[in-house]
A = this chain, B = another copy of it.
Amino acid sequence: MKLELYYWPEIQGRGEFVRLALEDAGAPYVDVARQPKGMARMLALEERERVFAPPFLRAGKLVIAQTANILHHLGPKLGLAPASEARRAVLSQEQLTIADWVTEVHDAHHPIASSLYYEDQQREAERRAAIFRKERLPKFMAHFEARARPRSKVTYVDLSLFQMIEGLRYAFPKAMKKLERNYPLLLALHQRVARRPRLAAYLASERRIAFNQQGIFRYYPELDG
């Protein structure tokens, strides 16, 4: 089945969690908004289908939004999730916890409003980021460290955890340098994912958008402590 991913063309953002799954599985897909006239197609479909926000996926007649929901749907089809309802539910739970983590990463630099410039909420961001680094970052890392299963089959949640570590290293290099050694299973998982041949090829390709100051993960030295 033809798969179309709709997401902002200039950032990794939430869409990247879906891109990683599609790329790792070698699934043929079109990253629509990165094609000629793709942005107009994305906005038209978003309007027609009354989607709240990208990313969304079109698979035949089905159009679905929300990153964790897209991955729940794609997981078994891409060989990145078990087939049983119960085991899929447990994976989805973990992806939703990652989604909460992503929102907290975003809100560390935009604690007041997405519609305001960073500079217009920098003081609040410094306050929120300090607590994020001290309380929330270790809490999330410890949670996933405790659940890591080094020898189990790789799932879409593992790919998303790889992306979290990549992004956190970009956004909080000093904090991560101090912290990450406490989570050896997560680091081993990160390496294991990075070495998967199709994923490695993707990461080295032009399809992988570089981290930048418009995405979820942004580097502001003053937020890194």
Closest to A92 in B: B69
CB pair B147 A50 closer than 8 Å: yes
Q: Which of B64, B86, B124, B131 contacts A93 (CB 8 A)?
A: B64
State the Cβ distance, A108 to closest chain B Cβ, in Å.
10
CB pair B69 A96 closer than 8 Å: yes
CB pair A115 B89 closer than 8 Å: no
Main secondary structure of the interface of A (DSSP, over half): helix
CB pair A96 B68 closer than 8 Å: yes
Closest to A73 in B: B89
Instruction: Let me know if A135 is at the binding interface, CB within 8 A.
Output: yes
Seen from chain A, the residues whose Cβ lies within 8 Å of a Cβ on chain B are 50, 52, 61-62, 64-66, 68-69, 72-73, 85-86, 89-90, 92-93, 96-97, 99-100, 103, 107, 111-113, 115-116, 124, 127-128, 131, 135, 143, 146-147
